[in-house]
Structures are given as structure tokens and as C-alpha cells.
Structure 1
């Protein structure tokens, strides 16, 4: 990947990689958002509740793919910057081994355990059957989801951010189109929604294959000894991505359980609307983080820490700008956003979701910093700091808070637990960044 060193070129690279990755991640976020919209319209509140019960498992699957892809691609970029092509190819080969192991595990879980998993998630009656069908279908496509994440990360770091974006958008557009066709004209119900989502990474991989067919790829499977150390490095550098996704799933499970006690299925459906809209916002921050990663890792590999720090600062300012704009739009149009997913015009659902949006979304004023800080630490081979930021914002902070605040403040406590957690984590992340900047030796 050709990353230039002067200030103007760094800014241009930042604009190119970040804009393309934000667009691509927005496309990926539409995988579930499209399901949310079409399921809410075609299957009503029961379908929406079932989808929200199944989303945590999708988060685990996506997290495993991101861990492998982001972790391996980060190490790949550092080796490439240091002119170690053999080591770079060995990393890609080990990533493919992880793909084979994880893909098999998820597919087997879907084939044999979708029912028990659906029950564990809280599915009962109609929602149990819908959740089981969705999980079984999605998990059967696990190898495609995982390979898609790996190829996107490697091709982006191999100088192909535009193709990576095109692949993500192609997958999302196919999902939206097939969602409509399978749920409405074909009347395939929950299976149709899951099948459409499962086909999306297949379409995306087809687009990404252009990079390989035209032999533009700098990465190859090579004959090498499988080393546990390389696998551990991949997992360590991708851990923040895994924790972010898995924690999201765990938090949804906990939120669902707490809300079921407070407001029943209507409350879970309201949270489903908020959680799925939040996925789009998180996708923007993740897009910025993944956009800066190749530039940061390349400059770090070359010893240019000052340039890496400049890119991080640009990323944080961009994320904060998006956060302010998104919150203003959400505050002003909360009613309209909720009604898009409220087929039955349920007034109680509307009331819960609108008030929840206005409180829950204040978290994004802090979440961007946390996501970018965790990504920066991973990109510069500081997995401990990345892990700390990710795990605290992901579950260690929010899970006890939601239980405590819900006990004292009901649904208001549920909604404010997220921004309180992100704000506290932002203080920690800022402290880590300050400490790291003080430790780095200025360049000559």
C-alpha cells in the first residue's frame, strides 16, 4: 500500500480511506437494518422481537470475522511496510486457517443447536420459532460472512479501499432487494429475511474476487509452518474488534432481559428499533476507525509515529463532528424515525422508543473517541490498551450499570446506562492516549 509521508498527502489519504470505509460500513450496517425494516412491515412486533433476540449471535459471528480480518490485516500492513513479504504472506495463510476453524464451528452450531440457542436468547412461542429459523439460516452462511470480513480487510490494506467499499455496498444492496422479494412477493417470512442476509456476503465476495482474478493482490497463501504465536498475534490485534461486536451482542441480551421484566415484548421491540438505528451510527465510527488503520499501521511500521498521531487526531475530530450532527438530527426527527419501524402504530412502542432514542444517542458524543482509540492501539501493536478500552465500554461497565440504573429509574435508567458507560470509558481512553503520546520519542 502506498502511503505518502508529507502532510498534504496524509490528509488526502485520510479523506480517501475514511470516506470509502464509512460508505462501506454504512452499507454493511444495512444488513440488519434492512431486516429490521422489512420484518417490522411484514411480520410485525413478534418478528421484530425475534430479530432482536437473534442479533447477538450475528454479532458474535461478525465479531469473529472482524477479529481475524482486522488483526491479520494490521499485522500484514506492518510487515509490508518493513519489506517482510514472506512474513506478510504467512499472516494471510494463518488467517485462512482461523477462517476454516471458526467457519466450521459456527456452521455446526447453526445446524445442531439453533433451537436451544433461540430458547436461551429468550424466545417463546412465535418468537422462539422465528428466532430459531433466523439463526439456523444465518449460521449456515457463517463461512461466507467470515471470508468476506477477511478479504475486505486485506484488500483495503492492500491498496484497494474503493473495491472493498464497492463489495460492501453490493452486498447490502442485494440484501435490501432480496429482503423485499423474499418477505413480500414470495411470502418466505423469517427464513426469507435470513436467507437474503446470508446471500449478501456471497455477492460481496464475488465483487472482491476481482482483486484476485486480476492478480492485483500482494497477499498469497504460502507454504509455511503453522505457528501458534502468529495466531495469537492476529487474535490480539483484532481483539478490540471482536470485543466490540461480541459485547454488543451480550449487551443486547442483557438489555432484552432487563426490558422484558420492565415492559415485556413491546419494550424489547422498542429497544430493537433503537439498537438497529444505533448500528448505523456505530458503523460510521467503525468506518473511520478502519479507514485510519492502514495509514496508521503503515506509518507505525516505518517508525513515523508523528504521522500516525496526526491521523488519529483527524479521525477523532471527524467522529465528533458526525456525533453532534447525528444527535441533532435524531433529537429533531425521533418521532419519524420510530414510525418507520412501527407498522401497527403502537403508541406505547412509539413512546418508549422516542424517549429512548433521545437519551441513548447521547452516548455517541463519547463513543467515537473510544472506538478510534481502541483501533489506534491495535494498529500500533498495543493490544492491552485496546483490550481495556473495548472491554470496559463493551460489557464490564455497561452490564452492571444497566441493572443498577434500571432498578432505581426503570426504563430511563436503561437508556442512560449506555451514555454513562461511554463517557466514563472516554476518560480512560483519553488518559491512555495522553500517556502513550508522552512515551513516544519525537522523530529527528
Structure 2
């Protein structure tokens, strides 16, 4: 019998490369916004942006909840039981568009109350308000874009998702420049440009209908509760992973505001936006592993499942080394890109924080691969537990305890501490899960 390991490694490698580009594209427009807003709005603009980011993470997290979960169900059944998932894609699109529209309405009815809860003060409220209201209008488009990206990727067309997300990023870069600097719309312009990202991506993703190997059909049907529940149960680790970024930004903003004021919040804004891109690159690896691992698990080829997961973990470690080297050795020029006010306080805080905070990348990249690998082999409960520990229980406790004990250094070190604890537990859970599958 021919050994399929080289073929699986090659296939996973191709998926990883395309998904790294695709995932980075989804996050790069946030980074572009940050750079342009720093130029137009200075330190207070950065602080206002960082206060609004948790809501942006919330939209993305909801899209991942149903996109990852639904596409995992689709991958498992599309070959042997396609009738089970014939209308799943259409159901999730309808539900996410409706839920996103409701959120957009509610957030525009109570923007000041929500921004106050997120940490806005008298200095940042006026700057953040317009950005927040416009970004909220994009909620349904952010959500359905994530559903489409994940289903099309799992339908064997990761190249199209890569093209869609990279094109969307280029469109946002151009519109950011045009609206912020040419039309002088500042943060309002940045918000309008950002909404064009999912719209551009969705337009390009419609080309999937011409993909020769397409099995995915767009059949609209009223959402069924059992399908929504099943998708959400598999997608909740990804939801919690994405939301953990927003929750940590929220917690960090409150702690940093008390420790060092808006300059510290702005410095964290720089770090948080870099982290979004760093985590997106790592998530690209996880998203490259998941479709292959799910497919091979559905075929009960457990050797290939292990090969896919092992390769993902190896690539994640290599990428972490490269990213940490870049962030540490180029920390001063990286921070200066965002520091258009030439704020000495912002520069001092951010440059000192970067090497401490991003120790976390070595563990975070492994955690993302581990959690999606557990989802791929139908161990969603284990992935769910890890997500809760990573984004909530350990992290939030560590932020407040470490801040009280070590001040600003403690805030930055709480993230690598959290990721290291979760990585140890995750590797243990994944090893046991794979052993139990072997024993069946």
C-alpha cells in the first residue's frame, strides 16, 4: 500500500501557505487603519481606536462561530453524506445576516453607553463615537464574509479565499489613504474604508460558482435550530479565541488607564494591532491544518490526521521564531511607524513592552493549531475548555494580579504566562485525544 504521508504533507503545506496570506489579509486592514489613524489622530486617535476594537473582534468572532463550525460539519459529511449539509451554508448566511443587522441597529441606538463601558473618557469619546457607529453598520457583512471564507476554503478552493482577502486589504489601503488624507475625513474615513473590506471579499468569493471541483451549493433555507446549535458547538473555540483578543483589550485598557493614562492605552493599541496580525498568521496555519485533518478524520485515516497536525505544530514553531526575531530587533522602527506625535512616553512604554508581550507568540501559535485540531477530530469540548482558560479565566486573573504585583511589566507578562499554561494543557489534551482514537 502506497504511503500517503508525503502527499498529505504537501497538501497541508499548500493550504497553510494560502491560509496564512488569507488570514493576514483579514487582519492587515486593521493594522493599516492604525497606521493612518496614528498619522491623522495622534495618541488620542490611537487610544480611541483601541477602545473600539473589542466590538470589531465581536463581529469577527460571531462570523467564526458559525463559519468554522459550519464548515467543519460540511467537511466531515460532504463526501459520504452530502444530503446532510445541502442547505447548511444557506441557513447560516441568512441567520448571520439577520443577527448582524440586529446588532448594527442596537449598537447605533446606544453608542455612548457602550463606549463608556469599553473605557472611553472625555478625551476619547468624541473621537471614538463616529468610528464606532460606522463600524457597527458593517456587522452583517463581517459575519457573512467569515462564513463564506470558511465554507469556500473547505470546499477545496483556498486560493480564492486568499485572493479575496488580499484584494480586500489592498482596497482598504487605497480607500484609507483617499478618505483620511485626500478628503480629510480622519477616523470617519477609516471606518468607511474598513466596511469595504468584507464587501470586496464577498464580491470576489462569488467567483467560486465557476470553480470546476465545487461541491458547495447555495441553497437558501430557513435556519434550523439544530443546525445552528451543532455549528456553534464546533465553532465556539474559534469564537472564544477571537473574542479573547477583544476581552483582553478591554481588560488591558482599564488597567493601563489607571496605571499610566491614555499614553499607555495608546501604546497598548500599537501592541494589540501588531498582535492581531501575528495571531492571524498563526491562525492561518491552524486553518490550513483543519480542513485536511477533518477530511481525513471523516475517512478514518488516523495516520494522515496525525501527519497534518504534526506539520502544523512544526510550522507554527518556525514562524514564531521568525516573528519574535523581527519584533525584538526592529522594535524601535516598528513603534515609530505608529508614533506620529513623537510622544516620548508612548515610545518608551511600547518599546519596552514589545519583547515582554511577544514571548507569548511561541505558545499562542501552538495553541491555535491545537484548538482547531481538537475541533477537527470532534473534541470540541476540550477545545472549548482551552479557549475559556486562554481568553478569560487565566488571562483576566493574570492581568489584574500581575499588574498589582509588578506594575506595567506585569501587564505585559500576563499574556505569555497565560499562553504557556494553556499550551501545556493543550498538548496534554491533544496527545490523549489522538491516543484514544488509536485505541478505537
TM-score range, shorter chain: over 0.9
Residues 226 and 24 from structure 1, CA distance in 2 versus in 1: closer, same or farther, beyond 3 angstroms? Answer: closer
C-alpha displacement of 1:225: 7.2
1:347 equivalent to 2:326? Answer no
Cα deviation digits, residues 155-195 of structure 1 (max 9, x gap): 11111100000000011111111111111010011110000
Partner of 1:28: 26
Partner of 1:62: 60
C-alpha displacement of 1:127: 1.4
1:138 equivalent to 2:128? Answer no
Q: CA RMSD in A?
A: 1.6
- Cα pair 1:306 1:442 within 8 Å, conserved: no
Partner of 2:69: 71
Equivalents in 1 of 2:262, 2:40: separation in Å? 17
Equivalents in 1 of 2:223, 2:192: separation in Å? 35
- Cα pair 2:67 2:147 within 8 Å, conserved: yes
1:381 equivalent to 2:378? Answer yes
Out of 302, 305, 316, the residue aligned to residue 319 of structure 1 is 316
Task: Point out the more displaced range, 239-248 or 93-102.
Answer: 93-102
Out of 80, 96, 100, the residue aligned to residue 78 of structure 2 is 80
Partner of 2:173: 176
Q: Which residues in structure 2 correspond to 1:269-284 (within 5 Å)?
A: 269-284=266-281
C-alpha displacement of 1:442: 6.2
Residues 442 and 6 from structure 1, CA distance in 2 versus in 1: closer, same or farther, beyond 3 angstroms? Answer: farther
Instruction: Report the TM-score when normalising by structure 1.
Output: 0.96
Partner of 2:260: 263
C-alpha displacement of 1:229: 2.0
Equivalents in 2 of 1:227, 1:29: separation in Å? 31
- Cα pair 1:21 1:290 within 8 Å, conserved: yes
C-alpha displacement of 1:268: 0.2
Equivalents in 1 of 2:140, 2:339: separation in Å? 34
1:361 equivalent to 2:366? Answer no
Partner of 1:435: 432
Out of 219, 232, 252, the residue aligned to residue 229 of structure 2 is 232
Instruction: Report the TM-score when normalising by structure 2.
Output: 0.96
C-alpha displacement of 1:115: 2.2
Equivalents in 2 of 1:209, 1:215: separation in Å? 14
Out of 38, 41, 59, the residue aligned to residue 40 of structure 1 is 38
| Unpaired segments ≥5 residues, structure 1 | none
- Cα pair 2:90 2:218 within 8 Å, conserved: yes
| Unpaired segments ≥5 residues, structure 2 | none
Which consecutive segments of 4 or more residues in structure 1 shift more than 4 A? Answer: 213-216, 223-226
C-alpha displacement of 1:212: 2.5
Counterpart of 1:123 in 2: which secondary structure? coil
Partner of 1:156: 153
Partner of 1:195: 192
Cα deviation digits, residues 404-435 of structure 1 (max 9, x gap): 01011100000000000000111100110121
